[in-house]
A = this chain, B = another copy of it.
């Protein structure tokens, strides 16, 4: 049995849709619960709603305390009263993705018979996640979102929103993402999945029956993913080759600071994330390929009314700038309205979550411009 227990079940605000969803894989999933948080107030015209989409291991607690970790919201530096995405002015919605583990229907949630979905949870796509969010925004009476914003896998959802429901998205900001997952990114995901699958506490995905979690495998998965979120420059600046208390060759387990940091990242992650969710969501990312869905990337945005803001970070090697440029070229080819900025930063992919004033100013300006255009 694992030393680490599954994280506690906590109450999340959510909406349940009895009719559910027809998924891309052909399965009718019903009912579907979408757990979400909101910030600010929806105006009478219902025209000031901004949907924020979270990344692989994010959740709906974008701007308030995460109930499991008690840590601040993951974009609390960007979204809040008086911030670039100003919750005094906008109604911000953030939903846990379908397949997630913070209250939305996913592998950790229970079925009608009281048992968790586990590995019986169907294969989902980024578009399925977006369809679940659409159920939510429809239920809130929002016909058109002022903006949809997200980074990394959140950016993939933004692109799917614009491609699938163009009339419902006035402005879209896909950040630090790409139109598809690259072979290298699939490969890194596969390493993480292999680590989880090879953990004996995985019990073929039915670990809850054994009071266990595949903590070691999930931890290794997080460690390798974490390296891809940082630039080499950021790792070097943070740790270089610094030794922990040792100044000679020893056989200590983690003699380099970067080792102990990574182990910490791995071990804290397993206290807040579900392994089957990780498998489900990484697969959804791997399947993501907007051009394949639409015949070509430009086709995905043809005649779109949506205005786009694409941003990349210069040292991001998980979703490098050239991927964002390819998006912009396709949007241009589709005669879409698009602006693009590459933010100079040596912090790697993680930069989209960090305090990057130039990025915050550019995104804030885009949102303000969209608000002005619709008279909010």
Q: Report which A residues bind B (CB closer than 8 A).
A: 24-25, 122-123, 125, 180-184, 186-188, 190-191, 194-195, 198-200, 216-217, 219-220, 223-224, 227, 230, 232, 235-236, 238-241, 248-251, 254, 256, 258-259, 262-263, 266, 283, 286-287, 289, 292
Contact = CB atoms under 8 A, between A and B. Distances in A.
8 contacts: A182-B235, A183-B241, A183-B256, A184-B230, A186-B258, A186-B259, A187-B262, A191-B262
A186 B263 contact: no
B263 A181 contact: no
Given A227-B188, A241-B289, A194 B182 contact: no
Given A25-B249, A183-B235, A186-B258, A220 B241 contact: no
Contact of A191 (B180, B181, B224, B235): B224
Contacts of A239: 183
Contacts of A232: 182-184
A180 B254 contact: no
B249 A183 contact: no
Contacts of A216: 194, 198
Given A249-B125, A263-B194, A289-B241, A186 B256 contact: yes
Contacts of A262: 187, 190-191, 194
A216 B194 CA distance: 8
A235 B283 CA distance: 18
A281 to B, nearest CB: 14
A294 to B, nearest CB: 15
A123 B24 contact: no
B286 A223 contact: no
A346 to B, nearest CB: 13
A200 B214 CA distance: 12
Contacts of A217: 198
A70 to B, nearest CB: 26
Nearest to A287: B249
Nearest to A181: B241
B251 A190 contact: no
Contacts of A184: 227, 230, 232, 235-236
A249 B198 contact: no
Contacts of A287: 249
A198 B238 CA distance: 26
B223 A194 contact: yes
A290 to B, nearest CB: 12
Nearest to A122: B251
Contacts of A123: 249-251
A236 B125 contact: no
Contacts of A292: 241
Interface centre among A181, A191, A223 (most CB of B within 10 A): A191
Contacts of A241: 180-181, 183, 186, 289, 292
Nearest to A23: B249
A190 B235 contact: no
Given A200-B200, A249-B125, A286-B256, A227 B187 contact: yes
Nearest to A291: B241
Contacts of A200: 200
Contacts of A187: 223, 227, 235, 258-259, 262
A284 B285 CA distance: 36
Nearest to A254: B190
